[in-house]
């Protein structure tokens, strides 16, 4: 990875593990000042130490005031946030017979509302600087439908819609807004899903994994580092003409 021309302040939500952790690591390796974020102070500090990041902050992203405070603290310690990566999120599953408004609200509160909160918090400083990079981690679920994750799929579609709208609104300010859409990725989240399905169904773990990877023509899970590399590129100078895009990192699934 090519080091940044000058260190920037990069804030990555949900960066204590998985894709967010890999994204933070990529920016640290590029020489940027990275603030990692976790739900707890302990997880944020652990990730900061593991990565050699500049700082770690904690907040429940569904608490808008707490997230705004964490972003403000990061800016006070490391300067205005020049690159924002909205990675925090999670999925819940349910067939239509059990899919209710409460689950839909939870998925929107976790996967969509924090994206808006964080963007609103960082945009004024980006506008003042005349430049900024915002990358939202969505999902292939935001580009197609998956059975039994209706609320999550709707939320990720909303993230992509917000990305495209804000890209148009912020283009003249020198701020790009893009989304990356990973397919099934080799993270603790997928490992946990495999564990639960293995216990619930009694099926062989390798057989269950094949169900996850059969939609990917490469026949494997996406690596978190592959997602991180795409985010790093979108945040770089050579991607200054790329905005409003939802880039699938899914081995040809779409």
Catalytic (active-site) positions = 152
How many Å apart are CA 171 and CA 176, to the nearest integer?
6
How many Å apart are CA 141 and CA 107, to the nearest integer?
13
Radius of gyration (C-alpha) of the chain in whole angstroms: 18
- 65 burial class (0-12, 13-18, 19+ CB within 10 angstroms)? exposed
How many Å apart are CA 31 and CA 84, to the nearest integer?
16
Strands (E), 183-230: none
Strands (E), the chain: 9-12, 33-38, 55-58, 83-86, 132-137, 175-182, 246-249
Q: What is the edge-to-edge ordering of all strands in the sheet holding 246-249? A: 55-58, 33-38, 9-12, 83-86, 132-137, 175-182, 246-249
CA atoms within 13 A on the CB side of 197: 17
Structure token digits, residue 73: 């603290």
């Amino acid at each position: 990875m090519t080091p940044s021309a000058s260190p920037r302040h990069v804030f990555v939500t949900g960066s204590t593990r998985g894709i967010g952790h890999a994204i933070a690591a990529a920016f640290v390796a590029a020489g940027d000042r990275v603030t990692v974020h976790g739900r707890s102070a302990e997880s944020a500090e652990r990730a900061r130490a593991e990565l050699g990041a500049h700082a770690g902050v904690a907040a429940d992203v569904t608490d808008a005031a707490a997230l705004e405070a964490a972003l403000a603290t990061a800016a006070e310690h490391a300067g205005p946030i020049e690159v924002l990566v909205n990675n925090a999120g999670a999925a819940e599953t349910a067939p239509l017979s059990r899919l209710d408004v409460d689950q839909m609200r939870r998925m929107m509160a976790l996967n969509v509302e924090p994206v808006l909160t964080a963007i609103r918090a960082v945009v004024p400083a980006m506008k003042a600087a005349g430049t900024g990079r915002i990358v939202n981690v969505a999902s292939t679920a935001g580009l197609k439908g998956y059975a039994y994750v209706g609320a999550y799929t709707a939320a990720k579609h909303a993230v992509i819609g917000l990305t495209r709208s804000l890209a148009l609104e912020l283009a003249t300010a020198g701020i790009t807004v893009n989304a990356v859409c990973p397919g099934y990725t080799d993270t603790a989240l997928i490992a946990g899903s495999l564990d639960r399905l293995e216990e619930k169904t009694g099926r062989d773990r390798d057989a269950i994994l094949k169900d996850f990877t059969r939609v990917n023509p490469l026949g494997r899970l996406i690596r978190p580092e592959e997602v991180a590399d795409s985010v790093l590129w979108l945040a770089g100078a050579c991607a200054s003409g790329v905005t409003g895009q939802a880039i699938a990192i899914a081995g040809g699934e779409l």
